Amino acid sequence: AALLPRPVRGLTDRLYCGRRVCYEVLGVSRQASKAEIARAYRQLARQYHPDRYRGEPAGGEGSRAQAAHEKFLLIAAAYETLKDEETRKDYDYMLDHPEEYYRHYYHYYSRRLAPKVDVTIVILVTVCAISVFQFFSWWSSYNEAINYLASVPKYRIQATEIARQQGLLNKTKEKGKNRRSKEEIREEEEEIIKDIIKNKIDIKGGYQKPRIYDILLFQILLAPFYWCKYIVWYCWWIYCFTIKRQEYGVEEKLYIIRRYMKMSQSQFDSLEDHQKETFLERELWIRENYEVYKREQEEELKKKMAMDPRWKRYRRWMKNEGPGRLTFIDD
């Protein structure tokens, strides 16, 4: 019943000026300009402003103050409706088509509840906040990786040896007035070792050193450049290897292998060099060779899982006490 068409009511209490016509409230015609509407509003606002009736007794004069207050609110609602071109256009359409009740309701409340802040500003601030969080999160992961490598004996011994060869550790042990405590010397030596690890070890993958061009904001700004670069590269690929039938180079072969493995560039870069050499030796850029390699890897994984004690316990549990059985436990 609520969805059935309502009878024509014309003006509605909860929309705009209610049962009153906004033009009649301000005493102007429908053809009045914005200047005429503003002038009429100022005159009526001075006449019915609540400050003129402040301090009056609550007796007979008090009712006049209440009536003036209600009149002032009606004048303000009429002015708010007619001063904006879009709102005035919707109001004029309601006067000409009073039968479209639901449409008027939608337009009125969609404007009333619309956000006052520009959506572009909100999106920009959100992207900037995400980018800042992303950058500092990557820095935190990178520092965690450096701290971990500095605690591994293999890398720590190598970094200490390099620091001794460069004479960096000898500078920390000063005598005389410049002599420092053991704690300060230990902290400085730790920083020297970490700096050497940062310079000598190439960390790849999720713990690699963050770059400002990898954050979301710069990715969005550089998206047109990346698209143009990809289109040019794709046309070059078609021309060289489809039309001219040239042989693949090492980079092209590794690219095809990476696409077959469905790995991102950072994931593929994190692989060891001997793994990539194995891929090239087995000619995995050829689809048939890659399918054979894939089946071998799947079989090897099955064998490892079959020999894994944890996997055996899991299969035994699924067979004896898995979710398909209902048992009572006697204590």
Q: How high is the pLDDT of residue 128? A: 92
Q: How high is the pLDDT of residue 325? A: 47
Residue 229 burial (10 A CB sphere; 0-12, 13-18, 19+): exposed
Report the alpha-carbon distance of residue 101 to residue 182 in Å, rounded.
83
Beta-carbon-side half-sphere exposure of residue 252 (alpha carbons within 13 Å): 12
The alpha carbon dihedral of 149, 153, 155, 156 has a sign of: positive
* Closest to 74 in 3D by CA, of 42, 105, 45, 98: 45
Q: How high is the pLDDT of residue 48? A: 82
Report the alpha-carbon distance of residue 108 to residue 118 in Å, rounded.
19
The tens-digit pLDDT sequence of the chain (331 residues) is 344 434 334 566 678 887 888 898 888 988 889 899 999 989 888 888 877 777 665 444 456 778 888 888 888 888 888 888 888 888 888 888 887 777 877 777 777 766 666 778 888 899 999 999 988 988 888 888 888 888 888 888 888 888 888 777 765 555 555 666 778 778 888 888 888 888 776 666 566 777 888 888 888 998 999 999 999 999 999 999 889 888 899 999 999 999 998 888 777 877 888 888 999 998 999 999 999 999 998 888 888 777 777 766 766 766 665 554 444 445 4
Q: What is the pTM of this model?
A: 0.48
Q: 22-113 is classed in which CATH architecture?
A: Orthogonal Bundle (1.10)
Domain locations in the chain as residue ranges:
22-113, 119-170+183-210, 247-318
At 212, phi and psi to the nearest 5? -65, -25
CA dist list (Å): 143 to 150, 162, 215: 10, 21, 18
Q: How high is the pLDDT of residue 9? A: 46
